[in-house]
Amino acid sequence: MRTQPNPAPHGPLLEARGVSKRYGDFVALRDVTLSVYNDEVVSIVGPNGAGKTTLVNTLTGLHLPTTGEVRFLGEKLTSNDIVKLSTQGLARAFQLVNIFPDLTVRETLSVAASSYSGLRWRMLQNCRRNDAVQRIVEDIARAFGLQSSLDVLSSALPHGKRKLLDVASALALHPKVLLLDEPTAGVSTADKYDVMETLLAAAKKMNVGAIMLVEHDMDLVSRYSTRIIAMQDGAKIADSPAAEFFQNEEVLSIVVGKASH
C-alpha cells in the first residue's frame, strides 16, 4: 500500500525556505524562498545559467540543499530518494523514452504505474498481467490520446507524442505536484499549444494539485501561468502573478533579453 505525507490543504503543497546550493566554491542557488499552492501553474523563467534546473533538482529531491530546507505537503525533505518522493506525490517528467527506447508506450507507462502501485516495474511481463497497473495505463493513454499507440515503440513516436509520453509517465504516479522542464522543447510552433492543452487537461483530470514549469518560451509562459518566478545568478528576482510580471519591464529585460527561445 502506498503511503503519503499528511496533506496540507490550507498551506503550500511545496515550498523552499532559504534554500542555497553550493558545488565547491560555486553558488548555484542563493537563499531562495518560494511556495507553490493548490490550483497553480507556476513558471520558472530566467536566462541560461540562472539556476532554474538546479532549483528544480533541489525541489524534487534529486539534490539536497546545502543550506535551507524544502518541504512537501508540510514535511521536510530529508532524502534524495527521488523514486520514493515520486510515489509520495512529488513527480517530475521521467523522459523514459530516452532511458528505455526499446519499450513500447504500454511498457513505458507500466514502469510508472507499477511504481505507483508498489510493484517491481522491472517485471514487465507481470505488469502486463496486473489489472490495476493496466487500468492506470489505459486511463493515462486515453487522457493523452495515446490509446492507438500503446503497442508502438516509444522511440518511434512523433516528437510531440514523445513529449506527451514523458509527461504521461509522470502523471501515472498520480502526483500532487508535477514539475516539468520545457515540455514542448523541440515541438513545432504549430503543435506546442496542443501539447500544453493536452497535458494541462490530463493533469486536471488526474487531480494534480499544482504544476511547476521551467520554460523559455514566453508565449507559453504568458498563456498558461498563474504565477511566474524569475531567476538570475541563482537568486529569485521576481515572484508575481502573470499579469503583474509582464508589466515589470526591468525583470522582463533580464529574462527576455537573455533567454533563448
Q: DSSP for 197-258?
A: HHHHHHHHHTT--EEEEE---HHHHHHH-SEEEEEETTEEEEEEEHHHHTT-HHHHHHHHHH
Determine if residue 240 is left, alpha or beta; phi over 0 gives left, psi from -120 to 50 gives alpha, anything else beta: beta
Strand partners, 228: 43, 240
Which residues, including other chains, have CB under 8 Å from residue 60's CB and lie 6 or more apart? 82, 85, 90, 92, 179
62 burial level (CB within 10 Å; 0-12, 13-18, 19+)? middle
What pLDDT was estimated at residue 21?
97
Nearest-angstrom CA–CA distance, 84 and 88: 6
Nearest-angstrom CA–CA distance, 251 and 3: 41
**Which of 168, 177, 183, 179 minimizes the C-alpha distance to 113?**
168
The three cell numbers locating residue 67: 543550506
Radius of gyration of the chain (CA): 18
Helix, strand or coil, per DSSP, at residue 114: helix
The reported pTM is: 0.84
What pLDDT was estimated at residue 181?
85
Low-confidence ranges of the chain (pLDDT < 70): 1-10, 80-81, 83, 94-99, 116-129, 258-261
Which residues, including other chains, have CB under 8 Å from residue 243's CB and lie 6 or more apart? none
What pLDDT was estimated at residue 247?
93
Residue listed under C-alpha cell 514542448 = 184
CATH node for 7-89+177-188+209-261? 3.40.50.300
Domain with CATH 3.40.50.300 in the chain: 7-89+177-188+209-261
